């Protein structure tokens, strides 16, 4: 195999991985009552305690975030911070984007956080916009973390190290 063939194979593999990584699959959201709060992302629960949930997204998870419930976007805020490894507790202080969804249950905060290598978050929503549960609203490029703060009257039913799926897994 010559250098040109090897480079072609490497480019094809990288392209396939990039396409796979950036997938945004449709999720079926009709199996639950419309008032149920569903996970906004795929990943592994690294922390679940009462209202606070942290989810680690590895390289093979879907990195799109989906609206957790029918709501109105109350606000979006860029959070300045560090660039710690996403699965560590220190990443709670990483740079990110916090979106507050105003729902019939109260406000739900979803914070997309960058990791050590990742420094790009994209959102497609704006404050004041009404959104339906299950629409993709943003994406974190490559392995990262999502933090969720449930409304005051709700508590997480998730357990640590539980795999979860956007639009499928109930949060409370």
Which tens digits make up the pLDDT trace of 116-132? 776 789 899 999 999 99
Indicate the pLDDT class of residue 28, thresholds 50, 70 and 90. low
Partner residues linked to 44 by β-bridges: 56, 163
Indicate the pLDDT class of residue 100, thresholds 50, 70 and 90. very high
Domain boundaries along the sequence of the chain: 3-164
Q: For the chain, how many residues are written?
A: 172
Indicate the pLDDT class of residue 60, thresholds 50, 70 and 90. confident
> Among residues 91, 144, 156, 159, which one is catalytic?
144
Higher pLDDT, 74 or 117: 74
| DSSP summary character for residue 169 | S
Q: In whole angstroms, what is the distance from residue 97 CA to residue 79 CA?
A: 6
* Predicted local distance difference test score (pLDDT) of residue 32: 65
Tokens of 126: 């704006």
What is the value of pTM for the model shown?
Answer: 0.86
144 labelled catalytic = yes
Average pLDDT over residues 81-88: 82
Q: Strand 96-103 relative to strand 106-113: parallel, antiparallel, unpaired? A: antiparallel
* Predicted local distance difference test score (pLDDT) of residue 118: 66
Average pLDDT over residues 44-53: 95
Indicate the pLDDT class of residue 29, thresholds 50, 70 and 90. low
Average pLDDT over residues 145-164: 95
Per DSSP, the residues of 100-151 read EEEETTEEEEEEEE--SS---EEE---TT-EE-TT-EEEEE-SSEEEEEE--
Provide Rg for the chain, Cα atoms: 17
Average pLDDT over residues 150-160: 95
């Amino acid at each position: 195999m010559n250098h040109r063939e090897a480079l072609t194979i490497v480019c094809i593999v990288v392209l396939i991985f990039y396409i796979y990584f950036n997938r945004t699959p449709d999720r079926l959201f009709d199996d639950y009552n419309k008032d149920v709060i569903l996970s906004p992302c795929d990943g592994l629960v690294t922390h679940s305690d009462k209202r606070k949930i942290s989810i680690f997204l590895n390289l093979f998870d879907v990195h799109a975030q989906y609206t957790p419930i029918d709501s109105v976007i109350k606000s979006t805020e860029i959070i300045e911070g560090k660039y710690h490894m996403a699965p560590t507790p220190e990443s709670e202080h990483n740079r990110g984007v916090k979106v507050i969804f105003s729902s019939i249950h109260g406000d739900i905060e979803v914070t997309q956080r960058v990791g050590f290598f990742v420094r790009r978050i994209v959102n497609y929503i704006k404050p004041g916009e009404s959104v339906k549960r299950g629409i993709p609203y943003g994406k974190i490029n490559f392995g990262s973390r999502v933090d969720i703060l449930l409304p005051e009257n709700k508590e997480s039913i998730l357990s640590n190290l539980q795999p979860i799926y956007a639009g499928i897994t109930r949060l409370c």
